[in-house]
Structures are given as C-alpha cells and as structure tokens.
Structure 1
C-alpha cells in the first residue's frame, strides 16, 4: 500500500464505502462488490482499495473479533498481528507488574497497542514504516489522548517517562503484501539492542516460536504461546514483567479458555515405557518450552520412545496440555496391513498423526484407499525401537 492509497482510505467516503460493501469471504464476493462499485461510478483505484480492505476485515475477524469492523489493514500487517486474546494477556502482564505506560516499539497495525490502551495503559506506539504508522493511528483513534503514534525507528525513540516497553522486532522483509522471513541477525531492531533495553526498563519481546533458545537471556522468563493447537509466539519477559521463580512457561489458549504450565527450568524427561492403553500428544507450546516431563508425571505417563514427544500411560488421565487418545489396536506400519485392518473397522475418515517416521500423511492416506462410515485416528511413530501404527480414538 502506498501513502496515497492510505490517504484515500482515510476519507469519510472511503470508510463509509468499506462499511457498505460488507463482508467479502470469496473471490466471487469480491467480483460482485467490484461490479457494484464500478456501476455506481467509483474509480478503479478507489474500488480496488475499498474491496481489498473489506476482504481484509473479513479475514481479520478471526484475530480481532468485533474490533475488525472499524480497523484498516495491510496484508502483511494482518498476517503478522497478534491475536486479540493473546494481546489481551500481554496487556494483563503489564498491568499486573504495575506499569501505567508502555512503549510499543514496532507496533505494526496496532494489535498489542490496542490491547494495552484497552487495559487503561498510556501507550506510545512506534513503527518504522510510515503507512503502517498511519494505519495504527486510525486503528487507535478511539482511545484519544491516551495513545500517541509515531513514525520512527525504535532505536531513535526517547523512552523517558515510560514504565515498560513491548517489542516485536521485524522478522520479515519490508513490504505490505508478500514478505519473506529473515535470519535473526537481520531482525529490526537488532536483538542486541532490544535486549540491551532490559538493563534499564522492563520489557516484553515477541519472537517466533522456533527462535534459537541458546540466544535467549538466561535471567528472563520465556513463554511459548499456542492458540487452538498452533504455536504462535515466544515471548521473553524481563525485569518486573518476569514472574518470580518462572523461567519456562507454556500458555495454551483454546477457544475462550486458557491454561498455563510454568517451571523454574526445563523439565527432566521421564524414561520411555511400553505402549499402554492411552497415547497423549503434548501441545506444541509444552514441547517448545521443554516441559513435557512435567506433563508426563502429571499423567503417570512416559514417552513411547527416546526423542519422541508422544506419551503413553494405562491410566485414563488427561489434561489441557495434551490431546489424549484411547488405543484400539497396534499394527505394523505397513500400508497393506493397515488398509485391511481399516476396512475391517469400517473406517472411512482417518486423522493421521506422525512423529519419528519419514512419511507424508497425505500420500500415505491415498495409499490406504479409505472407505467406510466410521472415524478414527492413526498415529505413526516408534514404540521403543519399532515402527508402529497405533489405531486410536480421541478421548
């Protein structure tokens, strides 16, 4: 998006048109909207800008809920924005630490800043891209004087008077549509500068969940967050924002609920054990935080094999930190044998999971030639040193 397009979108006419177009969830919807607008005499540029925003708003509902209905977006900004339920938890962390103001350095389209302001914090929102800063100013306008938006490099901002800072370093190439990931050495602002801020100010830093653990500050709290099964971020909390005695945390958000597992360090893993009546798949945040051992002990379970993040037990225990499956049958991981067994169970709908086996589930599924009226889960993994296929049902 160019600045000229943003200026056009910020007019009352354009904003009213976006509202009037309504939800656009398909190419067919978009074509119909374009046809209506062009028939009404609107220019091609205005039509394209309005329809693009209407479509982005529709997509944004999954992250922003009702807030999306008055916001503006870029494609890249929406893809990289924090989900509102997660942003709200970021805001709660600052409030709980006693902060009254926060600098959001690298604010993007303003997702976290929106949550900060909504929690009653005074917000300084900063972004290095002029168009993005303009979009953020629009998105945060309802909060009036409690929010200031600046177009600036994070490194050039005077943080005097701010109680804490939130940073989301750019991890992709510049742009408003298609962007590419960059290595940690090319993040902007530089991570050495980012973590250097912690010497004088409590900070929270949002990183990708696969970020190199060895490069993280040793005295910080590291929290991995998953939403509905997808690990979406790693947050590094320092100073008063880090909780006493917590160095590892896994926050699991599902629907409107959330559960968190915390520990002072990586958990010690349990020893592998023979396959039992149940298999448990730890949430990705638990795996990233290396807290699988703590979950295993809570379930009286152990790994199915060395280095495999499936747990097994004989007790019917489960937890919010795992997906649990009741074992029906253990079979050889052989296509012909499995196809015959699945026909015998009348299984036509099959969820396929795998760890420790070099198999493409989509290709494997085609070879099974599934037909039937029943559903089940197939877990392809190792039990001890053997490759096995575990036919199971979700608990």
Structure 2
C-alpha cells in the first residue's frame, strides 16, 4: 500500500520522488520538532518504563537520522515523517497516564482482528487512534451510498472496497502499522488465517459481521483457539456489547447460550436465519428500533442503523478490547448502554406511530418469519 524509504539507503529514490511534479510533499517535522522538544522537557514519572532519549531537533543531521520518507500512492503525496518509535511517542503523548507505558506497549503489540466494517470500521478507527498497530481486517463489501449514514467515507471513494478504505485510514494515521487484509470477508475458507491457527493468533476479535451463520462459525473456532470475542450491536440509540472471554472460559456458551443449538444448515432457511438472528439479538430493542426491525423486507431494506450509534458502538468495542489486552477485569456477559433511558428517561418513551412495545415487536417478528417461509 505504501513505500517506507530510508534516508540513507534509499537516497536516490527519495531525490527522484522529491523532483517529481506529480507528488505533493509534506514535511511532518515542521509540527513534530517543537512537539518533541516540549515533550523532552517534561518530567518522566512512569515507574515501569524508561525515559525516551531526547532528540536534538535543531540538528538537521539528527532529525534526518530519525526520519523516514513515505509514499502514499492514493494521495500522490510524499511525507517526511519521524521514524516508528518517535512517531508513536508523538501519537500517544496525550494518552499518558490514562494508559501506563506498559499498557500502551501491550496495546501496540496486540493483534486486533476486526470482521465487518460498518460498526467494525468505527471500532477499528478507535483502536488505531489509541495506538493499536497490528490488525487483521475482513469485509467483502464496497462503499456504497447507503453506507454513508454510518461509515465515515467520501463520495469520491464509492465503489472502493471497505477493506482498502480501512487499510488506508490506518496507514494515514500510523504508516508503521501492520495490517493483513481479507477482502473476501470472513469465511470458513480464510478462518485459519484470520484466527492465526497456524501462527500467532489475534489477541482479541471484534466481530461485526451481518451473516449470523458466520457469527456463530467464528465463535466456535475462536472458542477452540481460546481467543476472546467482542461484538457491539447498535439498537436505535442504544448499544449492546457482548463479551465472550474464551481465553479465560474455554467452555463459555456462544452468545451466552443464545447461539447454541443451531445446526450448520439452519441458516439456509430464511425463516430459520431470522430466528437465529433474533435469538442472538433478543428483545432488548428500543421502541423505534422495534418498529424499524419489524419493517425489514417491507419498507426497510436492511438492518436500521444510525451513524451516531454505530460510532458509539465502535468506541465501546474498542475500549473493551483495550481493557482485555491491558489485563483489566472485563468479564463475559451482555452489557447494555441505555442512551435513550439516560437522556430521555421514562417520560421520553411514548407510543408514536414509529414505536413498538415488546409484545407488538414479537408479533411483528413472527409475521416476518411467516412471510419468509416457503409457500
């Protein structure tokens, strides 16, 4: 995706690129040098990590030794950037003491696997923003106009694969990141590579796949490999977070028992697939979400989602993933983040035309299942 050039070893290539009229040039040291100088003046108080060596930012030769030149082809841009260690110090400077040095190091080394890049794209971005540097990412879709309500994208990128766009986003924030892409999405055919069965596996998985059969397939394999799985589901304005600590509880039931008991062929039947999905989701839906979900296949083409909730869901999943990596006591279970109840209270819930109560939602779901049955 990008070229990373050494200022000495690749001098001729760099000079040729600098001379090209087709490439813009950005010298990140313009901003980095004063920031490094300011950081070098601060007290070092973290008892578990050594103080980084200071950099003589007024010495051009020293700055060049700590530089790399990066070519971003899709932006037609050459960037002179601090090397991997210095860049990471700058990128994580404002994380200090919210994360200890030891936790930040663990987060940088962790391998985060993200499957499904709608809510998953928000989770991936939050992981990368806070300093994760190693990823597996999987999705088979391209960016389309209806994605733009919940995926931060550009109309200029319509038709580009979500995996490529996510890869670009990671590298533009930290070009020293290691990313393995799965552009066909998560399938049984790539499961061994995605889960690292034949090598070092992911530290944690963030699963945001639409296909319920693949959700269950991944969990069965992750449980066997003892890899924890997280999944954040946006429910109108609310977020549901599922935590399955297969690393600590290798016999923990899939989706807390909601995903057990389904046979491999069940998902071939549309009605049964709907029942599988609803068994996993449960009835923890907001009144407006209940109405929208009840309209699937009638006046709504796919699962209703709001971009604000997708962003919140991604941030919650990323926070939980980082907590697991850093050894914080995050337990298996289902967690509800009730934004509507918090902001609106009981008085904010009323019987609008676009709202359903639990009983009406159950009836709507049964009607959907009936419509999907053959004959």
TM-score computed with the length of structure 1 as normaliser: 0.28
Higher helix share: 2
TM-score computed with the length of structure 2 as normaliser: 0.29
Higher strand share: 1
